[in-house]
Amino acid sequence: MVSVGDESDPGMAAPKDAVTVIVVRDAPGTGSGGDRLEVLLLERHGASAFAPGALVFPGGKLDPTDAQLDPTRVRCTDPERWADRLGVAGADAAVAMLVAAVRETFEEAGILLVRGDGAAPALPANLAVTRARMAARDGAYDWREWLARHELVLDLDAMAMWSWWLTPQGEPRRYDTRFLVAGLPAGQAATHDEVETTSMRWIRPADALTAHAEGRLHVIFPTRRTLEQLAAHPDAASVLAAARSEAVDLRRIEPSVVRVDGAPMVQHPDGGPPAPV
């Protein structure tokens, strides 16, 4: 028996703006042709308030400093178009959200999307130290001075919009999350932060879905749906081309939570059978 949860609570949590970045690469040593696409998944700490133990893409909430970065420290060729895609009020808000995406990817995965002129840009020797300070999440470190000192320019153009998910009503924590996609920069390697995440892996989307179905990995509903979409692409170039040409579903998707024989399940607004959370 299916029943819909009560959504009339006036104290219902308001969704917070958030971003997540799907980092893609081709599996090393696979050459051309075939299924080469891999995505980066991080395992959330078991004590996390949101999705403990789940495999997720790097990301998080916006920080006030994301809107305070010197404009010379970012490259964004069309912020007005980004504002439309992200559903925010104006270019400044769009740039702040994209800066948050770059910052969170650096904090959680150690990957820094910065501008390069053809070849991979030279990264500072103290990159790991700076990342560790930021990953501590204690508010004691502000990376803006570090970016300026090393003349680093965040490459917001390295990302493209993939999808948009809103946490169902009735959940104690709700996020209005824009899913972006970016390729792994040349010469960089991902590492988990050992604060909010406890492990990481590069994995083919289909393999992640199989492992979840077999109970070997925990993947929440929006991530599963994203992996299903990604599994249709053979390599990273195909994913990035689809996103940049907007051949993706950019609707704001808000599932609902229903109960099936007393167990909570997720219902996609397009219909279909309810799915596990």
Q: What is the pLDDT of residues 12-70, one digit of tens each?
A: 789 999 999 999 999 998 767 678 999 999 998 655 556 667 999 999 999 999 999 99
Residue 126 carries which DSSP code?
Answer: T
**Average pLDDT value over all residues in the chain:** 90
Confidence class for position 2, pLDDT limits 50, 70, 90: very low
Fold of 19-252: Nucleoside Triphosphate Pyrophosphohydrolase (3.90.79)
Is beta strand 37-44 parallel, antiparallel or unpaired with respect to 55-56? antiparallel
pTM summary value? 0.91
DSSP secondary structure string, 9-71?
-TTPPPPEEEEEEEEEEEPTT--SSSS-EEEEEEEEPTT-SSSTT-EE-SEEE--GGGG-S-G
Domain boundary assignment for the chain = 19-252
- Strand duo 37-44 + 197-203: pairing: antiparallel
d(Cα 188, Cα 111) in Å, to the nearest integer? Answer: 7
**Coil, helix or strand at residue 96:** helix
What pLDDT is attached to residue 35?
86
pLDDT digits (tens, 9 = 90+) for 125-158: 999 999 999 988 777 789 999 999 999 999 999 9
* Residue-by-residue DSSP string for 190-256: ----SSSEEEEEEE-HHHHHHHHHTTSS---HHHHHHHHHHTT-SSHHHHHHHHHTT-S--SEE--E
Helix H or strand E segment including 80: helix 79-86
Q: Are 255 and 266 in contact (CB under 8 A)?
A: yes
89-125 pLDDT, tens digit per residue, is 999 999 999 999 999 999 999 999 998 665 677 899 9
Confidence of residue 245 (pLDDT cuts 50, 70, 90): very high
Checking if the pLDDT of 165 tops 90, the result is: yes
- Tokens 């932060």 -> residue: 193
Q: What was the pLDDT predicted at 48?
A: 56
Residue 78 Cα distances to 84, 259, 271, angstroms:
10, 43, 35
Give the contacts of 125 (CB within 8 A, at least 6 positions apart): none
**Alpha-carbon distance 147 to 73, whole Å?**
7
> 91, 77, 70, 87: which is closest to 156 by C-alpha?
77
Q: Which two tokens stand for residue 189?
A: 């390697």
The per-residue pLDDT for 3 is: 36
pLDDT of residue 122: 83
pLDDT of 9 strictly over 60: no
3-state secondary structure of 175: strand
